[in-house]
């Protein structure tokens, strides 16, 4: 991923200059059309709509300025916050165009209290809007003493060598009076599903989520007003092993965090007469087991419907044979409200065919490699056992291929109760699959017998990318589905084998692409808190977060490019969302990591010690005269040392930490000089002469000015000579950026369009519907790569997505005004494409950049959200032949300035949608501006 911190876009600098320029002879100011009355819409608090149970003591408020007119701006705002009808905060009229991340500044917020807010805005002409529709937020439990409930454990004996039946816990309580509102605050050691009076509470899955359990555990807040009633009530919870107690990673390592499951559940009931009553888990609860005989993240689930306990969470259920629970005091952990979105059922995938394999298996083909589980519908005799096995691909003989799952069984077993139509889906497990092998089915299965339930963190879809190339569109599809499959509460590497861990390296290379496809601000805010929690006292960042590879969280080694996620991802979130709080929150972690590298590198400023993954899965070949694209790990480590130090310097500047800024501003050139002395020849050869070596040196600006063009020429020459990339996880995300930026856009497009192995499009030619872990997961001869590491849903190489958004379509961020406050539209047609378009829902509204090439004419479209500005770079254009919406660009409403700048025309515009048309020229003959 390219972080614009490294190179302030040329177009952004020009836009600033244009603001202060007089008009050239070819331009004139255009009057902005009068605005319709403004409105503030889409009110959000901490990225969420009307959240409940948050613990941000100064929650940030955002809204969008609604206007269809060009040049719409906000000149002032007023926020009012009330609680129980009483005014708690009134900003008064504030002269400002700020409309995102406004921190609450009123009196201290209180646990469990709901706050209502609305906003009005003034437009650029001074017209004030009506007050917005009201929005709200509700606080969670802010203090440890707010928790009155007790942790309880089920009484059943629990063996430690294999998954056990899921415990069921229940309690009863009476409600005397009319209920005004009720909230449930719930968490567990392990996973839980909650019921009240026989009804499932909420639609969240895999709660309380996966965090650094040794340090912090999330709790959820539910509005259960509709569940609680006057008179007798009952509450029940089913627990699952989950990440807390299941096997994690390889080697059958169970109980990484603990051996016993536990529940903490508290209800706050507010009555119409003003009384407040708190009830919760305590020693009066009882426990037993039921139909879930085993549920394991890797292995699957066994469910015996004959053992169901109808009405078990309803009042009056006879629980005399249930055992008492144990009240316990687990090791202290901080209970936190979720900062990220919950996991939910997001979509349904219906099978496209049923096939019989040569091995005799009955297989449902879902048509899409997906993550989640299967929901089955059937009827049959009691005791009939139906087994579902899950696989991603078929082998060349047409049989399901499961060797790449390693020890993960991904098997679901359902035993019928024989009571008519039965519908079932698993509870505490998920599978990665396209194919479902069914055995024991009662009768003949049909395409209506099952559906796939897509499960992932409930991130709002924000971006789309489309071109004239069906293969590139399939690539974008695969990238998006790879993100869906692996953003399940943590950014996992793969969703199918016995791993599914939060690998830091994969996350950092993909973060920028992820932020185009979906709103990942909360998702990464949550995960980065665990990065900081699991970071070692010396600053080392574990390979995976949450850390389950280090023995009890200690002694983690740190690898360059992987551990750099601690710095790169916070900066990426800042660029995409203008979020300074994530920088503030993570600053100590960022600095600790850079200081760790500084100690490793010593006075020589060369990091040549320790264990690193290097350019993971770089291209290798059996050709005797080519040893493979091996880039020195010391080169990679030193390059990332420079890169993260530079980002830390920039972060310190944003946060006003001037002393730190000065320290790291002085350190960066020293690292760069050491890099050049050690790895660069006077003739411009870098390291082992690999593509990754040149890419890192150029991307991180490690080379002196007089060697950059030569290094880029060598890189492009190597790509042309081989006609393919040789980069791995480290070099691939930056490869096309570097080529395009240094005048080799045609070579970047060569790589993007290549269909043979190795390439981004090759998997699509083999029927892939997600991104593969390896360039040749399925080899051209139909055989498979090493089954020990061959995921067919592994998003890292999908990092090319950001290049397609940012360069092909041309939608870019100005790092001086992050979060798309200043939108850069700078398309780069080429590669034989005739069209491309990218759209993104920013915090301000939709931004878009697109182009169409037809009959010798280039049409460039741009959408700039209200309350932002844009600069459009029109490649190979002249002012004389340029129109916007059918009129000369200088006369177009919303156009502030237009100027010829070399072979391009730069147009500064206000908000609105624009269509520029001009005769096409040579479009691939110049460097790309980023």
Catalytic residues: 499, 773
Burial class (CB in 10 A: 0-12, 13-18, 19+), 782: exposed
Burial class (CB in 10 A: 0-12, 13-18, 19+), 664: buried
Which residue, chain included where needed, has tokens 């800042």? 574
Query: How far apart are alpha carbons 370 and 670 in whole angstroms?
Result: 47
Report the 10 Å Cβ neighbour count for 99.
22
Question: CA angle 472-477-480, nearest 5°?
Answer: 125
Bond into 208 cis (ω within 30): yes
Structure tokens at 685: 């050869």
**334-336 and 216-218 as β-strands: parallel, antiparallel, unpaired?**
parallel
Nearest CA to 465 out of 867, 829, 865, 850 is that of 850
Structure tokens at 752: 């993007």
Structure tokens at 51: 């959240």
- Residues 697, 699, 703, 709, CA torsion sign: positive
Q: Which residues pair with 175 in a beta bridge?
A: 231
Q: Are 737 and 4 in contact (CB under 8 A)?
A: no
Q: In the Cβ-directed half-sphere of 548, how many Cα atoms lie within 13 Å?
A: 28
Q: Are 181 and 234 in contact (CB under 8 A)?
A: no
Query: How far apart are alpha carbons 30 and 28 in whole angstroms?
Result: 6
Burial class (CB in 10 A: 0-12, 13-18, 19+), 656: exposed
β-sheet with 60-66: strand ranges across: 39-45, 60-66, 102-103
Q: Are 791 and 493 in contact (CB under 8 A)?
A: yes
Q: Which helix (H) or strand (E) holds 482?
A: helix 470-486
Q: Are 49 and 67 in contact (CB under 8 A)?
A: no
Burial class (CB in 10 A: 0-12, 13-18, 19+), 293: middle
Backbone angles phi, psi at 127, to 5 degrees: -75, 130
Give the ranges where 321-379 is alpha helix by DSSP (H): none
Q: Are 500 and 773 in contact (CB under 8 A)?
A: no
Q: Are 400 and 437 in contact (CB under 8 A)?
A: yes
Give the 3-state secondary structure of 564-594: CHHHHHHHHHHHHHCCHHHHHHHHHHHHHHH
Contacts of 315 (CB under 8 A, 6+ apart): 172, 197, 231, 232, 233, 234
Q: Are 319 and 286 in contact (CB under 8 A)?
A: yes
Q: Are 459 and 334 in contact (CB under 8 A)?
A: no
- Residues 553, 554, 559, 564, CA torsion sign: positive
Structure tokens at 913: 């949608």
Report the 10 Å Cβ neighbour count for 347.
13
Question: CA angle 567-573-579, nearest 5°?
Answer: 110
Question: In terms of residues, how long is the chain?
Answer: 930
- Dihedral, 176, 179, 185, 190 alpha carbons, nearest 10: 70
Residue 805 DSSP one-character state: I
């Amino acid at each position: 991923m390219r972080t614009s911190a490294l190179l302030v876009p040329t177009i952004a600098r020009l836009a600033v200059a244009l603001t202060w320029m007089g008009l050239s002879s070819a331009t004139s100011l255009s009057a902005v059309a009068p605005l319709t009355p403004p409105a503030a819409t889409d009110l959000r608090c901490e990225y969420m709509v009307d959240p409940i149970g948050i613990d941000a003591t100064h929650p940030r408020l955002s809204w969008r300025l609604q206007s269809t007119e060009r040049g719409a701006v906000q000149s002032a705002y007023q926020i009012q916050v009330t609680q129980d009808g009483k005014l708690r905060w009134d900003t008064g009229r504030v002269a400002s165009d700020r409309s995102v991340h406004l921190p609450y500044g009123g009196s201290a917020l209180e646990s469990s209290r709901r706050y209502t807010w609305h906003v009005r805005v003034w437009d650029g002409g001074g017209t004030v809007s009506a007050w917005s529709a009201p929005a709200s937020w509700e606080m969670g439990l802010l203090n440890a003493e707010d928790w009155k409930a007790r942790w309880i454990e089920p009484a059943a004996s629990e063996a430690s060598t294999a998954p056990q039946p899921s415990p069921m816990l229940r309690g009863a309580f009476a409600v005397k009076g009319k209920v005004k509102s009720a909230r449930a605050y719930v968490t567990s050691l392990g996973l839980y599903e909650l019921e009240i009076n026989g009804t499932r509470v909420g639609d969240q899955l895999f709660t309380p989520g996966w965090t650094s359990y040794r340090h912090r555990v999330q709790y959820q807040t539910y509005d259960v007003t509709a569940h609680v009633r006057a008179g007798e009530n009952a509450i029940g919870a089913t627990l699952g092993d989950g990440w807390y107690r299941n096997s994690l990673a390889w080697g059958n390592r169970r109980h990484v965090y603990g051996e016993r499951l536990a529940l903490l559940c508290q209800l706050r009931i507010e009555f119409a007469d003003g009384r407040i009553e708190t009830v919760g888990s305590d020693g009066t609860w009882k426990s037993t087991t039921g139909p879930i005989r085993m549920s394991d993240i890797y292995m699957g689930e066994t469910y015996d419907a004959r053992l169901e306990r109808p009405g078990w969470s309803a009042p009056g259920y006879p629980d005399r044979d249930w055992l008492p629970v144990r009240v316990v005091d687990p090791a202290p952990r901080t209970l936190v409200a979720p900062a990220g979105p919950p996991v939910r059922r997001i979509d349904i995938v219906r099978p496209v065919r049923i096939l019989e394999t040569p091995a005799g298996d009955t297989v449902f083909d879902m048509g899409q490699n997906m993550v989640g589980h299967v929901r089955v519908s059937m009827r049959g005799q009691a005791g009939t056992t139906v087994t579902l096995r899950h696989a991603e691909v078929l082998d060349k003989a047409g049989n399901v291929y499961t060797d790449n799952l390693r020890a993960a069984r991904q098997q679901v077993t359902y035993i019928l109760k024989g009571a008519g139509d039965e519908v079932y889906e698993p509870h505490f497990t998920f599978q990665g699959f396209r194919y479902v092998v069914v055995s024991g089915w009662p009768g003949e299965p049909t395409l209506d017998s099952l559906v796939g339930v897509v499960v992932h963190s409930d991130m709002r879809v924000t971006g789309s990318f489309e071109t004239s190339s069906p293969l590139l569109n399939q690539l974008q599809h695969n990238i998006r589905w790879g993100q869906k499959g692996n953003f399940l509460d943590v950014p996992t590497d793969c969703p199918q084998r016995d791993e599914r861990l939060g690998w830091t390296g994969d996350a950092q290379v993909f973060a920028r692409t992820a932020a185009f496809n979906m709103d990942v601000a909360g998702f990464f805010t949550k995960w980065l808190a665990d990065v900081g929690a699991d970071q070692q006292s010396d600053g080392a960042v574990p390979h995976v977060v949450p850390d389950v590879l280090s023995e009890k969280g200690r002694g983690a080694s740190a690898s360059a490019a992987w551990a750099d996620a601690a710095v790169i991802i916070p900066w990426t979130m800042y660029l995409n969302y203008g979020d300074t709080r994530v920088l503030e929150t993570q600053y100590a972690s960022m600095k600790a990591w850079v200081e760790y590298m500084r100690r490793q590198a010593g006075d020589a400023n060369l990091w040549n010690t320790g264990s690193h993954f290097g350019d993971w899965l770089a291209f290798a070949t059996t050709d005797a005269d080519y040893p493979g694209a091996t880039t020195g790990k010391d080169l990679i480590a030193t390059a990332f040392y420079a890169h993260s130090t530079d980002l830390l310097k920039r972060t310190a500047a944003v946060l006003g930490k001037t002393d730190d800024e000065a320290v790291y501003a002085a350190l960066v050139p020293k690292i760069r000089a050491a890099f050049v002395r050690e790895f660069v020849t006077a003739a411009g050869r870098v390291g082992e002469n690999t593509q990754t070596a040149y890419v890192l040196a150029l991307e991180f600006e490690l080379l002196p000015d007089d060697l950059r063009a030569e290094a880029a020429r060598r890189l492009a020459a190597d790509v042309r000579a081989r006609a393919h990339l040789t980069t791995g996880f480290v070099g691939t995300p930056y490869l096309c950026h570097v080529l395009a930026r240094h005048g080799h856009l045609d070579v970047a497009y060569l790589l993007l369009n290549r269909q043979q192995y190795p390439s981004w499009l090759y998997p699509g030619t083999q029927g892939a519907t997600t991104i593969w872990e390896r360039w040749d997961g399925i080899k051209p001869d139909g055989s498979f790569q090493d089954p020990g590491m061959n995921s067919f849903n592994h998003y890292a190489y999908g990092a090319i997505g950001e290049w397609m958004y940012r360069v092909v379509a041309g939608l870019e961020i100005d790092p001086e005004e992050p979060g798309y406050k200043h939108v850069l539209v700078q398309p780069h047609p080429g590669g034989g494409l005739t069209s491309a378009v990218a759209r993104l829902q920013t915090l301000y509204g939709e931004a878009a950049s697109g182009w169409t090439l037809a009959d010798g004419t280039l049409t460039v479209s741009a959408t700039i959200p209200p309350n932002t500005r844009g600069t459009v770079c029109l490649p190979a254009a002249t002012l004389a032949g340029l129109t916007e919406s059918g009129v000369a660009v200088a006369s177009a409403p919303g156009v502030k300035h237009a100027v010829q700048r070399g072979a391009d025309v730069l147009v500064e515009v206000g908000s609105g949608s624009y269509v520029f048309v001009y005769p096409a020229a040579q479009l691939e003959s110049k460097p790309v501006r980023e």
